[in-house]
């Protein structure tokens, strides 16, 4: 029975992981790479590449969904550039705004719900006996461990740290948002260099359409 349960979980995992595509839309000065659905925009000596990250690594069902975007910022200027936790915003097709989540906040969500959830694709425990059955598994018993047991350290190590990018350097990492991408048709990933007013146009804007 245990093997059957986890076989079903594996089937759902791989079929659901292939249904969502976050596809960049062309913008001036943007270069799209269809290999990974990323787009790179270069302005004023700064190059920013953005793509939706692998949903099997960063998506959770936590009273909503935490999703992430992979970001690379290259500083081709002769000055230091900086970005902080308020530098990145999402705006969906309904005009709803999503603030960036810090790694600490993502870890807090996972810790809160880790006893009730299996990993992506968002399968929860509806009955206590289901949790009791699956909780008896360990990492050596199953190839499908819990996110909370395996990935918390990755949330921090893979997060983007762009607080200080010196001339000629590149910062690469994940930026997290609490957003349910499957429920959205379009989204814009907005980037503001530190000190840029949010009332002004974003320094970089990456529009995506979401196909299911």
Q: Between 184 and 166, name the one with better pLDDT.
A: 166
Provide the greatest CA pair distance for the chain: 63
| Nearest partner of 96 among 184, 210, 25, 191, judged by Cα | 184
C-alpha dihedral, 123 to 129 to 132 to 134, nearest 10°: -40
Percent of the chain with pLDDT over 70: 65
Residue-by-residue DSSP string for 21-81: EEEE---TTEEEETTTTEEEEEETTEEEEEEEPPHHHH-EESSSEEEEEEEEEEE-SSS-B
In degrees and rounded to multiples of 5, residue 66 shows phi and psi of -95, 120
Distance CA 93, CA 75 (A): 31
pLDDT over 90 at 117, yes or no: no
Select the highest-mean-pLDDT range: 21-25, 142-146, 176-180, 181-185.
21-25
Q: Between 80 and 119, name the one with better pLDDT.
A: 80
Token pair 């230091």: residue? 80
Mean pLDDT of 77-84: 96
Percent of the chain with pLDDT over 90: 50
pLDDT over 50 at 188, yes or no: yes
- Check residue 111 and give its pLDDT: 65
With beta carbons less than 8 A apart as the criterion, state whether 86 and 192 touch.
yes
Q: Between 189 and 58, name the one with better pLDDT.
A: 189
Fold annotation for 2-211: Immunoglobulin-like (2.60.40)
pLDDT over 80 at 190, yes or no: yes
Q: What is the model's pTM?
A: 0.73
Mean pLDDT of 5-27: 59
- State the Cα angle at 67 between 64 and 72, rounded to 5°: 160
With beta carbons less than 8 A apart as the criterion, state whether 199 and 187 touch.
no
Break the chain into its structural domains and give their ranges.
2-211
Please, which pLDDT band fits residue 110 given cuts at 50, 70 and 90? low
Question: What does the pLDDT look like over 121-138, one tens digit per residue?
Answer: 434 434 444 444 444 444
With beta carbons less than 8 A apart as the criterion, state whether 81 and 46 touch.
yes
Mean pLDDT of 153-160: 86
In degrees and rounded to multiples of 5, residue 168 shows phi and psi of 85, -5
């Amino acid at each position: 029975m245990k093997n059957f349960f986890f076989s079903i979980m594996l089937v759902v995992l791989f079929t659901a992981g292939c249904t969502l595509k976050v596809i960049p839309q062309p913008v001036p000065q943007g270069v799209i790479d269809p290999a990974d659905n990323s787009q790179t925009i270069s302005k004023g000596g700064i190059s920013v590449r953005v793509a939706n990250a692998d949903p099997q690594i960063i998506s959770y069902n936590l009273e909503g969904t935490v999703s992430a975007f992979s970001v690379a910022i290259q500083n081709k200027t002769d000055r230091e550039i900086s970005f902080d936790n308020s530098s990145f915003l999402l705006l969906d097709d309904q005009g709803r705004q999503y603030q960036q989540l810090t790694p600490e906040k993502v870890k807090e969500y996972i810790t809160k719900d880790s006893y009730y959830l299996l990993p992506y694709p968002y399968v929860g425990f509806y009955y206590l006996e289901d949790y009791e059955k699956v909780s008896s598994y360990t990492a050596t018993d199953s190839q499908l461990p819990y996110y909370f047991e395996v990935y918390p350290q990755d949330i921090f190590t893979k997060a983007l740290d762009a607080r200080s990018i010196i001339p000629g350097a590149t910062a690469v990492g994940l930026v997290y948002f609490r957003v349910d991408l499957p429920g959205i048709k379009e989204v814009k990933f907005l980037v503001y260099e530190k000190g840029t007013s949010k009332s002004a146009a974003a320094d970089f804007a990456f529009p995506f359409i979401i196909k299911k």
